[in-house]
């Protein structure tokens, strides 16, 4: 056999063709008695239905968490989760926190050093000392 | 070419039928017949209302409570979730929205695509038929893309590229990237948004299962015999591997295989409910958009010899290796840049630490230059199905790979 | 002055670009004996290529500045393009100043093997008979020398007898059994590296 094939897996590029939202579930926890949950209770009754309607990709769970501060927990496709404590926050601020969790990729935050990260080869190739316009030394 | 109206026959093929007699006997008091995913929701409603003891209870509240309890008990009897449960699953609705599936595809069908044959052996309720259709579509679209874009690829590389685009490993990775979760055990009470399959028992030997395949290849048991590439076209599947027959009931499947079947079933479901253009768009967005460097799929054993054969076949001058530049010939780390020339034309070049290495790499670059030729303005045959497509021009067809 | 003593040991004449600063600093009384980062960078700064200059302004022109990288395999050589491909005619115009000096480049091998095609079927029969009758005397190389062809041709025409192959395998095993771990590993690495060429790694 003159040439053999090497079996690999094509790498995913989220957003090049289809975009899959990385946040798959948001858990909203509240307490019926605690004062820090007052904003959360208002958020759940007033803002959350609209938020859920605008983001059908996210599964939303609401559950009480007795005698604890209210939190929002996001579950991501890569298996990680992120949670934000929203004690004593107003409904608008809680919406902002929920948006943060919705837009996150689930990865740990890290410094992006390059403006573009790509799997594609650079157009001009990898620089080689033996090619191009050689100058005599 | 005229587009076939699919919506009509898809409903006749998948018409609602009662379950098999044997299972009806098992639970006579069950809530009537199970309805299929493509059945109208009205029928599901009516069948749910034919529950036991409709006349026995006056109190509506109590009746509702008892009925829900009965329903929960009934659900345990089914191997997979009932169809009307799909409308109440948040996970399923989220998955439907996450994939931007067409609204003509009902959540019931998506729920059916999530039930593997190992979970529910009844072909009316598992995803086997959808997966068969989806698999054929996937391989067709991938093949036409590869053959039209790179008409000179050798067959072994086409197999590898097919595997990379539509192989089970890639499909399983896609299901993972779509956020599909697995149910630990299938059953009627499970959330229909989870992938349901019966797992392989721990400790079972997977290699034995693959050996027990039902390949049409004669003398398949003779492992030492040479298998030609041509015979792979006739006897093997589209990835150049031996064909595996349908799994017998009771056997589990691996998570990879179940995920791959689910992705294929989604493809088939889109084709049935939303038609061919939607299926093609889904393929382009989810499959073709993945990154694959075809140049890295080649594994040559003797590139210089192959190149000489190629040049003889195409009536080019004999390839000659010439040194373009070099440095440190007498040092510990020499570098030679060697080009392969046929007459006055350069076919390829490569750099290496020895003359032999540089020549081999140059020959390899030249061969890849030949095999990776791609015509301008590539069109695939299925583009003719679009509305107002330009007249078809024949695509470039190559003589075939180099045979040594 | 400690610094001046240390500095005077350096061979100034071998660093001619330091000379002016040395002469200046003599007058001032203090002197630098090391280039600063800024000065080194300044010397390494190269002027842009002449084609980028403003001398060509006013005409339509294309600046051809080939990348200093190995050519991509996706760039099909002109010879490999089919006759009806549009790229073929485009490149021919460009290739007017093609390198006439291809013949001047040195060959990887000292000389091209001359192809004579002089052996007859009777000769081939003779080769086979000799190889089978006395494999120890008539090795590939000896046969090649006698019939004035390459050892590769001998291998293509006939095969060694099984006994000879067995003996040769035993010889090889005896030699390899003498190898230590270092040599064995080096040989294995060499083999792996050679396989990596085929995958272009």
Q: List per-residue pLDDT tens for chain C, 201 residues long.
A: 333 443 444 444 444 454 444 444 444 555 665 678 888 888 788 777 666 666 556 667 777 677 788 889 999 999 999 988 999 888 866 554 555 578 888 898 877 667 788 899 999 999 999 998 888 889 899 999 999 888 888 999 988 888 899 999 999 999 999 999 999 999 999 999 999 999 988
Tokens linked to A38: 């007052």
Report ipTM (2 d.p.): 0.93
Average pLDDT for residues B45-68, to the nearest whole number?
57
Q: Which chains have 3 or more CB–CB distances shorter than 8 Å to chain C?
A: A, B
**Residues of A in Cβ contact (< 8 Å) with B180:** none
As a whole number of Å, the end-to-end CA separation of chain B is 41
Tokens linked to C31: 């002197």
Which residue in the set B96, B159, B404 is minimally distant from A2, CB to CB? B404
**pLDDT tens-digit readout, B115-135:** 999 999 999 999 999 999 999
C107 touches A: beta carbon within 8 Å: no
CATH fit for domain B300-371, picks 3.40.50.1860, 3.10.400.10, 2.60.40.10, 3.30.160.20: 3.30.160.20
Average pLDDT for residues A20-36, to the nearest whole number?
95
A131 touches C: beta carbon within 8 Å: yes
Which residue in the set A8, A17, A130 is minimally distant from B335, CB to CB? A130
Quickly count: other Cβ atoms within 10 Å of residue C2's Cβ.
6
**pLDDT tens-digit readout, A95-127:** 999 999 999 999 999 999 999 888 998 888 888
Strand pairing category for B335-342 and B345-352: antiparallel
C72 touches A: beta carbon within 8 Å: yes
Spatial separation of the C-alpha atoms in residues B237 and B93, rounded to whole Å:
35
Alpha helices (runs of H) in B78-154, residue ranges in sequence order: 90-98, 107-113, 128-149
Best of A2, A79, A126 to mutate (most B CBs within 10 Å, chain B): A2
Q: What percent of chain B has pLDDT over 90?
A: 60
Structural domain harbouring A60: 38-66+90-105
Residue B73: pLDDT band (50, 70, 90) is confident
Tokens linked to A4: 């053999």
Judged against a pLDDT cut of 70, whether residue B306 lies above it is answered with yes
Per CB distance under 8 Å, which residues of C are interface residues toward B? Answer: 70-71, 73-82, 85-87, 98-100, 102, 105-109, 112, 197-200
pLDDT at B36: 57
- Give CA torsion, residues B240, B246, B248, B253, to 10 deg: 60
pLDDT at B222: 80
Question: Has residue A98 been placed in a domain?
Answer: yes
Spatial separation of the C-alpha atoms in residues B335 and C27, rounded to whole Å:
49
A11 touches B: beta carbon within 8 Å: yes
Q: Which long-range contacts (CB under 8 A, 24 or more apart) does B393-402 make?
A: B395/B147, B395/B148, B395/B151, B396/B151, B396/C82, B397/B151, B398/B151, B398/B152, B399/B313, B401/A2, B401/A3, B401/B152, B401/B153, B401/B154, B401/B155, B401/B371, B402/A2, B402/B154, B402/B306, B402/B309, B402/B310, B402/B313, B402/B367
Judged against a pLDDT cut of 80, whether residue B52 lies above it is answered with no
Average pLDDT for residues B326-339, to the nearest whole number?
93
**pLDDT tens-digit readout, A32-66:** 999 999 999 999 999 999 999 999 999 999 999 99
What Å distances lie between residue B329 and A130, B305, B333, B338, CA to CA? Answer: 14, 26, 8, 13
| Closest residue by Cα to residue C88 from C105, C76, C100, C72 | C76
Chain A residue with the nearest C-alpha to that of B159:
A5
Q: The dihedral of CA A116, A117, A120, A125: what is its sign?
A: positive
Spatial separation of the C-alpha atoms in residues B357 and B326, rounded to whole Å:
13
**Residues of C in Cβ contact (< 8 Å) with B323:** 105-108
Mean pLDDT computed over every residue of chain B:
84
Of chain A residues 71-90, which have a CB less than 8 A from chain B? 77
Place of tokens 């006013």: C58
Assess contact for B310 and B402: CB atoms under 8 A: yes
**Residues of B in Cβ contact (< 8 Å) with A130:** 325, 327, 335, 337, 351
Judged against a pLDDT cut of 50, whether residue B388 lies above it is answered with yes
Mean pLDDT computed over every residue of chain A:
92
Q: What is the CA radius of gyration of chain C?
A: 33
Of chain A residues 4-23, which have a CB less than 8 A from chain C? 6
**pLDDT tens-digit readout, B178-189:** 999 999 999 999
Q: The dihedral of CA C29, C33, C34, C38: what is its sign?
A: positive
pLDDT at B205: 74
What are the boundaries of each domain within chain C? 2-44, 121-160, 162-201
Place of tokens 């107003």: A90
Question: Has residue A17 been placed in a domain?
Answer: no
Best of B88, B89, B94, B299 to mutate (most A CBs within 10 Å, chain A): B94
B344 touches C: beta carbon within 8 Å: yes
Alpha-carbon gap: C146 to the closest alpha carbon of chain B (Å) = 26
Partners of residue A85 on adjacent β-strands: A71
As a whole number of Å, the end-to-end CA separation of chain C is 58
**Residues of A in Cβ contact (< 8 Å) with B263:** none
Spatial separation of the C-alpha atoms in residues B186 and B194, rounded to whole Å:
9
**B with C: how many residue pairs have Cβ under 8 Å apart?**
93
Q: Which of A128-137, B246-255, C79-88, C187-196 has the highest mean pLDDT?
A: C187-196
Question: Has residue A9 been placed in a domain?
Answer: no
CB within 8 Å: A133 and C66: yes
Spatial separation of the C-alpha atoms in residues B290 and B278, rounded to whole Å:
18
Judged against a pLDDT cut of 50, whether residue B20 lies above it is answered with no
pLDDT at B233: 87
Which residue in the set B163, B291, B301 is minimally distant from A7, CB to CB? B163
pLDDT at C55: 59
pTM: 0.81
Spatial separation of the C-alpha atoms in residues A27 and A29, rounded to whole Å:
6
pLDDT at B400: 82
Residue B39: pLDDT band (50, 70, 90) is very low
| Closest residue by Cα to residue B156 from C196, A1, A11, C197 | A1
Which residue in the set B345, B358, B396 is minimally distant from C79, CB to CB? B345
Q: The dihedral of CA B53, B56, B60, B61: what is its sign?
A: negative
Judged against a pLDDT cut of 80, whether residue B35 lies above it is answered with no
Q: What percent of chain A has pLDDT over 70?
A: 96
Judged against a pLDDT cut of 90, whether residue A19 lies above it is answered with yes
Q: Where in chain B is the domain with CATH 3.30.160.20?
A: 300-371
Lowest-pLDDT choice from A74-88, B125-139, B218-232, C50-64: C50-64
Spatial separation of the C-alpha atoms in residues B363 and B350, rounded to whole Å:
8
Judged against a pLDDT cut of 50, whether residue B30 lies above it is answered with no
Q: What is the CA radius of gyration of chain A?
A: 24
Spatial separation of the C-alpha atoms in residues B305 and B364, rounded to whole Å:
10
Cα of A62 vs its chain's centroid, Å? 20
Residue B213: pLDDT band (50, 70, 90) is low
Chain B residue with the nearest C-alpha to that of C190:
B357
pLDDT at A107: 94
pLDDT at C1: 36
Spatial separation of the C-alpha atoms in residues B97 and A18, rounded to whole Å:
12
Average pLDDT for residues B172-181, to the nearest whole number?
96
Residue B297: pLDDT band (50, 70, 90) is very high
**Residues of B in Cβ contact (< 8 Å) with C198:** 299-301, 303, 360, 364
Judged against a pLDDT cut of 80, whether residue B374 lies above it is answered with yes
Judged against a pLDDT cut of 50, whether residue B238 lies above it is answered with yes
Question: Has residue A15 been placed in a domain?
Answer: no
Partners of residue B199 on adjacent β-strands: B253
| Closest residue by Cα to residue B124 from B136, B112, B133 | B112
Judged against a pLDDT cut of 70, whether residue B142 lies above it is answered with yes
The per-residue DSSP string of B297-312 comes to: GEEES-HHHHHHHHHH
CB within 8 Å: B173 and A12: yes
Question: Nearest 5°: CA angle at B262, between B153 and A62?
Answer: 135
Class of domain B12-199+252-294 as given by CATH: mainly alpha
pLDDT at B160: 96
B376 touches C: beta carbon within 8 Å: yes
pLDDT at B70: 75
Residue B24: pLDDT band (50, 70, 90) is very low
Q: Structural domain tally of chain A?
A: 1
């Amino acid at each position: 056999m003159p040439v053999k094939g090497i079996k690999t897996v094509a790498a995913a590029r989220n957003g090049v063709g289809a975009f899959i939202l990385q946040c798959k579930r948001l858990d909203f926890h509240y307490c019926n008695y605690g004062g820090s949950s007052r904003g959360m209770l208002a958020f759940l009754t007033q803002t959350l239905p609209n938020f859920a309607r605008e983001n059908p990709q996210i599964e939303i769970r609401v559950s009480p968490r007795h005698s604890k501060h209210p939190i929002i927990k996001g579950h991501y496709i890569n298996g990680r989760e992120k949670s934000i404590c929203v004690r004593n926050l107003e409904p608008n601020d809680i919406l902002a926190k929920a948006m943060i969790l919705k837009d996150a990729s689930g990865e740990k935050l890290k410094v992006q050093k390059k403006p573009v990260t790509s799997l594609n080869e650079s157009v001009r190739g990898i620089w080689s000392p033996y090619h191009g316009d050689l100058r005599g030394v | 070419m005229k587009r076939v109206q699919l919506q009509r026959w898809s409903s006749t093929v998948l018409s609602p039928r009662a379950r098999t007699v044997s299972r009806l006997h098992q639970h006579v008091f069950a809530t009537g017949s199970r309805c299929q995913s493509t059945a109208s929701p009205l029928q599901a409603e009516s069948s749910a209302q034919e529950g036991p003891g409709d006349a026995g209870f006056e109190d509506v509240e109590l009746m509702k409570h008892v009925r829900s309890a009965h329903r929960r008990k009934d659900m345990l009897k089914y191997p997979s979730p009932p169809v009307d449960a799909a409308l109440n699953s948040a996970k399923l609705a989220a998955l439907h929205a996450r994939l931007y599936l067409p609204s003509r595809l009902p959540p019931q069908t998506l729920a059916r695509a999530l039930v593997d044959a190992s979970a529910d052996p009844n072909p009316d309720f598992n995803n086997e038929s959808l997966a068969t259709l989806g698999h054929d579509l996937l391989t067709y679209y991938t093949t036409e893309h590869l053959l039209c874009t790179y008409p000179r690829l050798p067959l072994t590389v086409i197999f590898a590229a097919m595997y990379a685009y539509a192989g089970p490993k890639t499909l399983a990775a896609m299901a993972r990237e779509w956020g599909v979760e697995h149910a630990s055990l299938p059953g009627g009470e499970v959330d229909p948004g989870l992938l349901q399959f019966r797992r392989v028992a721990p400790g079972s030997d997977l290699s034995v299962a693959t050996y027990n395949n039902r390949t049409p290849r004669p003398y398949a048991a003779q492992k030492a015999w040479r298998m030609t590439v041509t015979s792979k076209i006739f006897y093997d599947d589209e990835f150049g591997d031996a064909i595996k027959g349908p799994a017998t009931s009771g056997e589990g499947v691996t998570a990879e295989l179940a995920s791959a079947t689910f992705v294929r079933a989604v493809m088939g479901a889109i084709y049935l409910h939303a038609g061919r253009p939607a299926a093609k768009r889904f393929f382009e967005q989810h499959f073709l958009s993945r990154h694959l460097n075809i140049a890295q799929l080649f594994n040559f054993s003797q590139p210089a010899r192959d190149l000489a054969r190629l040049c003889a076949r195409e009536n080019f001058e004999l390839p000659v290796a010439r040194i373009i530049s070099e440095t440190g010939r007498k040092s510990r780390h020499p570098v030679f840049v060697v080009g392969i020339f046929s007459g006055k034309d350069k076919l390829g070049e490569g750099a290496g630490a020895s003359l032999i290495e540089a020549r081999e790499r140059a020959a390899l670059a030249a061969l890849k230059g030949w095999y990776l030729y791609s015509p301008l303005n590539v069109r695939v045959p299925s583009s003719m199905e679009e509305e107002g497509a330009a007249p078809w021009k024949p695509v470039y067809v190559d003589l075939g790979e180099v045979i040594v | 002055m400690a610094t001046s003593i240390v500095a005077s040991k350096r061979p100034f004449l071998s660093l001619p670009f330091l000379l002016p600063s040395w002469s200046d600093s003599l007058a001032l009384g203090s002197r630098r004996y090391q280039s600063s980062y800024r000065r080194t960078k300044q010397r390494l700064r190269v002027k842009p290529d002449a084609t980028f200059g403003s001398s060509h302004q006013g005409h339509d022109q294309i600046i051809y500045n080939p990348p200093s990288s190995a050519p991509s395999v996706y760039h099909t050589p002109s010879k490999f393009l089919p006759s009806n491909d549009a790229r073929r005619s485009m490149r021919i115009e460009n290739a007017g100043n093609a390198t006439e000096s291809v013949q001047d480049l040195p060959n990887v091998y000292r000389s091209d093997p001359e192809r004579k095609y002089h052996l007859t079927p009777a000769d081939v029969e003779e080769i086979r008979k000799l190889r089978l009758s006395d494999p120890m005397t008539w090795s590939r190389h000896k046969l090649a020398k006698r019939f004035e062809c390459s050892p590769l041709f001998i291998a293509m025409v006939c095969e060694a007898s099984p006994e000879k192959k067995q003996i040769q395998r035993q010889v090889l095993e005896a030699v390899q059994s003498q190898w230590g771990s270092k040599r064995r590993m080096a040989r294995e690495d060499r083999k792996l590296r050679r396989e990596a060429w085929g995958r272009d790694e």
